Amino acid sequence: MSEQAHQQLAKQLLGCRYEELSPVQRSVIDLIATEAPSGVNKALKHDDRTFGARLADHVAAVGGSWGFIIGFGVFLTVWMAWNVFVKGKVNFDPYPFIFLNLMLSMLAAIQAPVIMMSQNRAAARDREAAEHDYLVNLRAELEIMHLHDKVDEMRDQQMIELLKQQREAIRLLKGQVEKLAAKAKI
């Protein structure tokens, strides 16, 4: 479509010039002008994460699951029970569980940044999805406004045509009334 059509759509739908629009609004006007479908955001569909990013997401998914929480709770209970109730050389971490605390601290030190990295990527994906949703919603709203304008224009044209037909019918009816009045006088 021409530059003039883009200007007209921007003025009609958003009330400002095409150059004054944000990039998202321009892309919506472009989609409406070309009547192209919005489609799925390719960035949302394409998985371009590195191996480390996929691993971090998997660790975050496992670490945040009920299975992990229950399994880890069972492991901690067994560890503590073994070291408290079994006597002799097999209890390798007696009561204050110093080795267990060391292992838990190391796990937390590794797992926390991994989960935060995964959350940052999830937030970035959510922002992209929200921007795509905004684009689709804005386009739908503008298309509906555009359709309302077209329907109003069609209705106005229909009303004009009906008025013309009504005037013609009134003119013919007046002619018939005048003929009948002239015959009645004779």
Q: Element (H or E) spanning 180, and its range?
A: helix 98-185
CA distances from 68 to 64, 75, 128 (A): 7, 10, 30
Q: How far apart are CA 9 and CA 164, in angstroms?
A: 31
What is the helix, strand, coil percentage profile of the chain, to 5?
A: 80, 0, 20
Contact between 42 and 50 under an 8 Å Cβ cutoff? The reply is no
pLDDT in tens, the chain (186 residues): 578 888 888 888 888 888 888 888 888 888 888 877 776 656 556 678 889 888 888 988 998 899 999 999 999 999 999 988 887 778 888 889 999 999 999 999 999 999 999 999 999 999 999 998 998 899 899 889 889 999 999 999 999 999 999 999 999 999 999 999 988 887
pTM here? 0.62
